[in-house]
Amino acid sequence: MASQNLHKTIYEISRVINLSLKPGEVLSQIAEQTTKAMQAKGCFIRVLSHDGKTLEPGAYFGLSDRYAHKGPVEVEKSKLDQDVLKGEIVTIADVSEDDRFQYPKEAAEEGLRSLVVLPLSVGGDKVIGSIRVYSGEARTFDEEELDFLRCIANLSGLALENARMYSALKRAKQLADEYTYQVFED
């Protein structure tokens, strides 16, 4: 994998994050750019629910809608995601032979063989989701690829946190404007 291609992808993703505060739009671009840069079958970005029990779909690329909507990823039932939410990077050479995978039958039907999963974190240690990169053939991920994905995971976490903060500020301003209007108009 060419380092120049990975660096160019990081630049493009940083540019997208800088241009938009819409999480769906940003995460979709990240999933697509990551899939292409890694020459992978697909990429899936999931966001941890408010109660911390499930990983909700954020964006995906290269995977079928059937696979993307196969069912909820319940943290309690997925040893793989439990490890990732602790901050670990998990690689699986063959998902059909690994009991940490929650949906092995669906993965086989989708033609998925290997994967790497990384935590999306903010502030260094707060995990808010995960990014998965799937391969259709047996594959190991080298250190350069893992460094690239760490960078993408950190950028994704930053993009989500920025979007959340922007949304909260926008809502606070809206409430303040409504309050001001009521006080001074009455």
User: Between 59 and 168, where is the model more confident?
Assistant: 59
For residue 147, the cross-strand partners are none
pLDDT at 186 over 70: no
pLDDT of residue 20: 85
Q: Specify the pTM.
A: 0.87
pLDDT of residue 115: 94
Tens digit of each residue's pLDDT (9 = 90 or more) over 81-92: 999 999 999 999
Determine how many CB atoms are found less than 10 A away from the CB of residue 108.
12
Tens digit of each residue's pLDDT (9 = 90 or more) over 162-183: 888 888 888 888 888 888 877 7
Residue where the block lists tokens 């990014």: 131
Tens digit of each residue's pLDDT (9 = 90 or more) over 14-56: 898 888 888 889 999 999 999 999 999 999 999 999 999 999 9
Largest CA distance in the chain: 69
Which of the 8 DSSP states describes residue 108? H
141 to each of 23, 34, 106, 115, 133, how far by Cα in Å?
A: 27, 14, 23, 9, 10
Angle subtended by helix axes 143-185 and 3-19, to nearest 10: 0
Query: How does residue 4 score in pLDDT terms, banded at 50, 70 and 90?
Result: confident
pLDDT at 1 over 70: no
pLDDT of residue 165: 87
Tens digit of each residue's pLDDT (9 = 90 or more) over 80-139: 999 999 999 999 998 888 888 888 889 989 999 999 999 999 887 889 999 999 999 999
Query: How does residue 154 score in pLDDT terms, banded at 50, 70 and 90?
Result: very high
